[in-house]
């Protein structure tokens, strides 16, 4: 499988992970020398079997977990104690359960929370919120209570909350999990239209084929394949070796 690095011609990659190692408290290695890059504007899928280290890796991108060794760089900035706040502004993390990040009394207040926390006020804050709501096509939900929304609506609002901070990288953990077919289709269409780098942790391989030109396969805390999604997901032996498969009727082209 051809290894593809992020294209640095247009400036620093949105994300660079180098030599990333992390152990759980019991000593089990969760990440074992991970190297990965995502170019500005690129959509990359992160796939692998359960327990492969995908979510653990994703949680390192904005310092929610801190590595035992290795480096994390976002838009050319190295993650450390002095840059943690800036990194968390630059990396918008969308959790699998959208309710984990929706806690205000209205959608508008939730979307405003991040940029307000970073100092925006008045008309500038209102404009930022309106732009994020429009980008996710949830303007009509602005005055609704988040906990009264459908799962698909909550997922799009959760993305709007991080998009309002104008991150360099959007990290999504299982974004289509639990969505009905119509909500899944709406979300895929929305993600395709966003002009921001995306790292998408998922088991939804048909979505990967449709949305992500590149796929990174991890297992046992290591990158085992990295290449064009159409090539990687066409390798049935590779997928089977790592407990993955495309649903019946789907083919990588």
- Position 9 scores a pLDDT of 38
- The model's pLDDT over 212-249, given as tens digits with 9 standing for 90+, comes to 999 999 999 999 999 999 999 999 999 999 999 988 56
- The model's pLDDT over 155-168, given as tens digits with 9 standing for 90+, comes to 999 999 999 999 99
- The model's pLDDT over 51-60, given as tens digits with 9 standing for 90+, comes to 999 999 999 9
Across the range 39-48, mean pLDDT stands at 97
Dist CA 191 CA 2 (whole Å): 26
Phi/psi for 154 (5° steps) reads -60, -40
Nearest to 60 by CA among 86, 33, 79, 39: 79
Q: What is the DSSP letter of 49?
A: S
Say how many Å lie between the first and final Cα of the chain, rounded: 15
- Position 251 scores a pLDDT of 63
Nearest to 217 by CA among 206, 209, 207, 229: 229
Nearest to 192 by CA among 173, 175, 216, 177: 175
- Position 4 scores a pLDDT of 38
Q: Can you tell me which residue has the tokens 């998408």?
A: 200
- The model's pLDDT over 126-156, given as tens digits with 9 standing for 90+, comes to 999 999 999 999 999 999 999 999 999 999 9
What value, to the nearest 5°, has the Cα angle with vertex 163 and ends 115 and 111? 50
Cα 179 to Cα 57, 58, 200, 203: the distances in Å are 24, 21, 16, 13
Nearest to 226 by CA among 23, 76, 42, 10: 42
Q: What is the DSSP letter of 1?
A: -
DSSP 144-162: S-GGGS-HHHHHHHHHHHH
In which band, very low, low, confident or very high, does the pLDDT at 5 lie, cut at 50, 70 and 90?
Answer: very low
- Position 6 scores a pLDDT of 40
Dist CA 135 CA 27 (whole Å): 43
Residue 194 has pLDDT above 50, yes or no: yes
- The model's pLDDT over 49-107, given as tens digits with 9 standing for 90+, comes to 999 999 999 999 999 999 999 999 999 999 999 999 999 999 999 998 888 889 999 99
- The model's pLDDT over 103-123, given as tens digits with 9 standing for 90+, comes to 999 999 999 999 999 899 999
Dist CA 106 CA 206 (whole Å): 33
Q: What is the SS3 assignment for 239?
A: helix
Token pair, residue 193, equals 């239209």
Architecture of the structural domain at 15-99+168-241: 3-Layer(aba) Sandwich (3.40)
- Position 106 scores a pLDDT of 96
Q: What's the whole-model pTM score?
A: 0.92
Across the range 16-32, mean pLDDT stands at 93
**Looking at the chain, how many residues does it have?**
253
Contact 170, 162 (CB under 8 A): yes
């Amino acid at each position: 499988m051809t290894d593809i690095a992020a294209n640095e011609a247009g400036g620093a990659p949105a994300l660079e992970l180098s030599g990333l190692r992390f152990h759980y408290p019991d000593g089990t290695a969760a990440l074992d020398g991970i190297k990965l890059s995502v170019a500005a504007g690129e959509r990359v899928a992160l796939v692998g079997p359960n327990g492969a280290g995908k979510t653990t890796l994703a949680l390192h991108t904005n310092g929610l977990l801190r590595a035992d060794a290795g480096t994390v760089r976002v838009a050319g900035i190295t993650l450390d104690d002095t840059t943690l706040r800036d990194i968390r502004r630059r990396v918008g993390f969308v959790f699998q359960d959208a309710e984990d990040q929706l806690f205000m009394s209205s959608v508008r207040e939730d979307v405003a929370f991040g940029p307000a926390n970073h100092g925006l006020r008045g008309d500038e804050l209102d404009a930022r919120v309106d732009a994020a709501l429009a980008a996710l096509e949830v303007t009509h939900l602005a005055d609704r209570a988040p906990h009264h929304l459908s799962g698909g609506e909550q997922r799009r609002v959760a993305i709007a909350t991080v998009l309002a901070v104008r991150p360099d990288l959007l990290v999504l953990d299982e974004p289509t999990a639990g969505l009905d077919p119509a909500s899944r289709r709406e979300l895929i269409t929305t993600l395709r239209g966003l002009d921001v780098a995306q790292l998408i942790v998922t088991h939804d391989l048909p979505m990967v084929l449709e949305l992500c030109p590149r796929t990174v396969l991890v297992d046992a805390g290591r990158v085992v394949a990295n290449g064009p999604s159409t090539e990687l997901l066409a390798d049935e032996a590779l997928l089977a070796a790592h407990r993955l498969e495309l649903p019946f009727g789907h083919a990588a082209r």
